[in-house]
Amino acid sequence: MSYAAAESVAASSTWAATSLFYMLLVPALILWYAYWRMSRRHMYELAEKIDGPPGLPLIGNALEFTGGSDDIFKNLVNKSMSYDKQGMVKLWIGPRLMVFLYDPRDVELILSSHVLIDKADDYRFFKPWLGNGLLISTGQKWRSHRKLIAPTFHLNVLKSFIDLFNANSRTVVEKLKKESADFDCHDYMSECTVEILLETAMGVSKSTQDQSGFEYAMAVMKMCDILHLRHTKIWLRPEFLFNFTQYAKVQTKLLDTIHGLTKKVILRKKEEFKSGKKTTILEEYHDSSSSSETTVKDTSVEGLSFGQAAGLKDDLDVEDNDVGQKKRLAFLDLLLESSQSGVVISDEEIKEQVDTIMFEGHDTTAAGSSFFLSMMGVHQDIQDKVIEELDQIFGDSDRPATFQDTLEMKYLERCLMETLRMYPPVPIIARHIKQDITLPSNGKKVPAGATVVITTYKLHRRPDVYPNPNKFDPDNFLPERSANRHYYAFVPFSAGPRSCVGRKYAMLKLKIILSTILRNFRVQSDLKESDFKLQADIILKRAEGFKVKLQPRKNFAKAC
Ligand code: HEM
């Protein structure tokens, strides 16, 4: 056979093999798809009974997530309105079924469960950052770490942080004095909350003079932008596609900054431990107790217990007597001490938990405080009342706030609750459901394999629970109004076994920062609430920035 003939035989046999491959591949794919659809038949049957906007073949409702994050937010809120009567709506994102719930009875079923504790697939994007920290982990690992960490945010520990809350609030007031025109208060709140976390939960004193606290806060903000894109843009979800994008490179750089700070914090703390310099909160608490009012035992304020309905209890509500001596350590002190025994928590796990607390503890409170200041700017009459209350508590003294003072800030607390109702910093909570669940509100079944999304933003604006729900009305949290409300109709900190571990820490810290600011400044705003562009980020924010103006209050020349 000639060379040309041999070549032609080889070419035709390659062609035949390729054709055979495709001839087999196509039916194989069809068979696989048919099998895959069959295996999900139960899910499709149950999903069929849940209402939702029509979607397109294969991609479902993915197009609802196009545009900027404020457009997406507005679009989803508007579209969901047609389903408000049912208190639930379904969306398909490609093959993924998402069921959004906002009836308090259904929210209770999910949040109070000790079984439905698995986080949704979307949280995996946090993994390179937070590893398997408390926010993401599940099962036995989550249970044992939660048990270890929750007592470090007990009220007794928190009271010992009050001096640091005050000192950092005064620092931010000093910094704010340079702002004479419109500015974005979120940057200040962000930096301040990072500094406070470092000094309190991490127990590292003024470590951020080198600007790493500010850089950290900015890196977190940019990381959240990337994570948000991955949640909403279907093509950025698979790792192999994401890794080809520019975002992956930016993420690596941001994580260097973020992990750089957490590693530095742990290293410093370890060095202190080695040199024998370890101060337990228990000692500090007793040292300072003579000058502060430690007799206050009742932790509920005006029918509410630090950010949730008074009738709800979680592992942060244990009595003082139940917290043993060892457990009265600050967060990082306790983790490092536990790791000395080598049994409870490894070095890698400590890093994951530090990253988790630094993220959860800072961006949420920065958003909450920025929304509060925005509300004060918009509602001058309400701000008048807050200032009046503060003047009654402090007179013209510039003394720091005490724990007792925070209990007396009843109107300020109502304003804070109302802010968290209308602008919950964590607007959704997503869980992966491994078993069918029947919803108490309407008897419908959500199939196993679905993602259930507690839509706090919509839950908090239900007209049957909050009359005139889009009006900022702090009196919504008067005891008589809260008394008959469903416990799960107000869950800015989630609730149940996976509630926010920093709930009491956040409320105490926010009261001190915000009261200190309002003792020094009056807040103004050129925008009305209807001008706000809300952004459906991981954390709820104003897309245009938290623009406010400050006017120094005449009576207070010195920062409180
Ligand atoms: C206004 C401030 C805050 C709000 C609105 C808030 C809200 C929430 C919400 C809604 C969750 C549940 C998230 C989910 O299941 O997806 C959560 C969890 C969590 N939060 Fe907060 N949070 C705040 C402040 C803090 C602070 C100050 C800390 C720590 C110092 C903290 C630490 C955590 C942790 C570790 C979790 C995970 C708990 C678990 O799964 O066991 N948070 N938070």
pLDDT tens per residue across span 512-533: 999 999 999 999 999 999 999 9
Residue with the bigger pLDDT between 186 and 69: it is 186
pLDDT, position 511: 97
Same domain, yes or no: 20 and 151:
no
Identify the sign of the CA torsion 433, 496, 201, 405: positive
- Considering only residues 276 and 365, tell me which one the structure prediction assigns the higher pLDDT: 365
CA of 422 from ligand 1 middle (Å) equals 17
| Stronger pLDDT, 558 or 200, i.e. the higher one | 200
Domain that holds residue 336: 117-427+457-552
Per the domain annotation, does 229 fall within a domain?
Answer: yes
Please count the structural domains in the chain: 2
- 241-262 average pLDDT score: 94
Indicate if 27 and 164 belong to the same structural domain. Answer: no
Q: Is 11 among the domain residues?
A: yes
Q: How many other C-beta atoms are found inside a 10 Å radius of the C-beta of residue 14? A: 10
* 214 found inside a domain: yes
pLDDT for residue 545 is more than 90? yes
Q: 505: Cβ below 6 Å to ligand 1?
A: yes
The average pLDDT across 38-50 equals 93
Q: CA of 56: how far to CAs of 92, 231, 284, 484, in Å?
A: 9, 19, 61, 43
Regarding whether 137 and 3 lie in a shared domain, the answer is no
Does the pLDDT of residue 326 top 60, yes or no?
A: no
Q: How far is CA 498 from CA 140, 149, 313, 450, in A?
A: 13, 12, 12, 19
Q: Is residue 1 domain-shared with residue 140, that is, in the same domain? A: no
C-beta 431 within 6 A of ligand 1: no
Identify which has the larger pLDDT, 407 or 291.
407
Average pLDDT over residues 529-551: 91
The answer to the question of residue 263 being in a domain is yes
Which ligand 1 atom minimizes the distance to the CA of 506? 27
Helix-, strand-, coil-residue percentages of the chain, each rounded to 5? 55, 10, 35
Per the domain annotation, does 155 fall within a domain?
A: yes
pLDDT band of residue 203 (cuts 50, 70, 90) is confident
Give the pLDDT confidence score for residue 476 in this predicted structure.
96
Same domain, 32 and 162: no
Q: Does one domain contain both 269 and 368? A: yes
Residue 201 near ligand 1, beta carbon < 6 Å: yes
Report the pLDDT value the prediction gives residue 287, as an integer from 0 to 100: 37
Span from the CA of 31 to the centroid of ligand 1 (angstroms): 45
328 pLDDT tier (thresholds 50, 70, 90): low
Say what the pLDDT of residue 294 is.
38
Same structural domain, 127 and 32:
no
Contact 449 CB / ligand 1 (< 6 Å)? no
Segment among 13-22, 358-367, 380-389, 463-472 with least mean pLDDT? 13-22
Instruction: Name the residue with higher pLDDT: 492 or 557.
Output: 492
Instruction: Decide whether any atom of ligand 1 lies within 6 Å of the 251 Cβ.
Output: no
If you measure from the C-alpha of residue 490 to the centroid of ligand 1, how many angstroms do you get, rounded to a whole number? 15
Within this chain, do residues 162 and 296 fall inside the same structural domain, yes or no?
Answer: yes
Answer yes or no: do 27 and 149 share one domain: no
Q: What is the pLDDT of residue 288?
A: 40
The reply to whether 25 and 130 lie within a common domain is no
| Residue 504 three-state SS | helix
pLDDT at 278: 58
Confidence of residue 299 (pLDDT cuts 50, 70, 90): very low
Query: For position 456, what pLDDT does the model report?
Result: 97
% of the chain beyond a pLDDT of 70: 89
Assess if residue 446 is contained within a domain: no
How large is the average pLDDT for residues 330-345? 81
Can you list the pairs that 295-303 forms with residues at least 24 positions away whose Cβ atoms lie under 8 Å? 296/403, 296/404, 296/407, 299/155, 299/504, 301/407, 301/410, 301/413, 302/410, 302/413, 302/414, 302/477, 302/478, 302/479, 303/479, 303/482, 303/483
- Same domain membership, residue 162 and residue 20: no
Helix ranges (DSSP H) in 112-161: 127-130, 139-149, 155-159
How many angstroms separate the alpha carbon of residue 391 from the centre of ligand 1? Answer: 32
Last residue of a domain, one of 39, 54, 69: 39
The pLDDT, as a whole number, for residue 296 is 40
Q: What pLDDT was estimated at residue 107? A: 98
- CATH number of the domain bearing residue 138: 1.10.630.10
- Out of 92-106, 265-279, 355-369, pick the least confident: 265-279
- Asked whether the ipTM of the predicted complex exceeds the cut of 0.90, the reply is yes
Tell me, yes or no, whether 380 and 522 share the same domain.
Answer: yes
Residue 208: pLDDT band by 50, 70, 90 thresholds?
very low
| Cα of 321 from ligand 1 centre, angstroms | 25
Is the C-beta atom of 282 inside 6 A of ligand 1? Answer: no
Question: Which phi and psi (to 5°) does residue 16 adopt?
Answer: -65, -40
Judged by average pLDDT, the poorest of 143-157, 278-292, 375-389 is 278-292
Residue 51 lies in a domain: no
Is the residue at 138 inside a domain?
yes
